[in-house]
Amino acid sequence: MKIFIEKTNKKLEKKFSGTVAELLNLLKLNSETVLVTKNNTLVSENEAVKDSDEIKILSVISGG
């Protein structure tokens, strides 16, 4: 699975299948502070994701 974490500009490749919530937990990211897209479509935390998906994790915190 290709994962891009926007806040840190980090690209990862990980073997994972489960829900978005489980993925965020694994990456130690707070779901309150991010939105996730799967293959460029916004998805909820209960969405199932698998190895072939492209995941982007976007920070909701912005501005000043």
Partner 1 sequence: MECTECKKIIGKNKIINNPKFNQKSKNKSSAVFSNPSLCKEHFTIYFENKVKKAIKDFKLLSKKDKLVVAASGGKDSTVLLYLLKKLGYNPEALAIDEGIRGYRSETLKNLKSFCRQNNITLNIVSYKKEFGEELDTMLHGLKIIPCSLCGALRRYLLNKYSRKYNKIATGHNLDDESQSIVMNLLKNNLELNSRLGPKTGIDADRTAGTDANIKLQIQEISEGKGFVQRVKPLYFCTEKEVMAYTLLKGIKVDFAECPHVPESFRAHIRDMLNDYELSHPGTKKSIIKNFLNILPKLKKHCSRNYSNSAKNHEEKNSKTLRPCKICGEPSDNETCRACLFLAMVKSNNSKAKSLNNNLLQIRV
In the window 9-28, what residues touch partner 1 (CB under 8 A)? none
Give the nearest distance from C-beta 60 to partner 1 in angstroms.
4
Is 8 near partner 1 (CB under 8 A)?
no
Whole-Å CA distances, 33 to 10, 36, 51, 55: 16, 10, 24, 16
Burial (0-12, 13-18, 19+ Cβ within 10 Å), 7: middle
Nearer to partner 1, 13 or 63 (CB): 63
Give the nearest distance from C-beta 22 to partner 1 in angstroms.
13
Between CA 60 and CA 45 the distance in angstroms is 14
Q: Which residues bind partner 1 (CB under 8 A)?
A: 6, 30-33, 35, 37, 41-47, 58-64
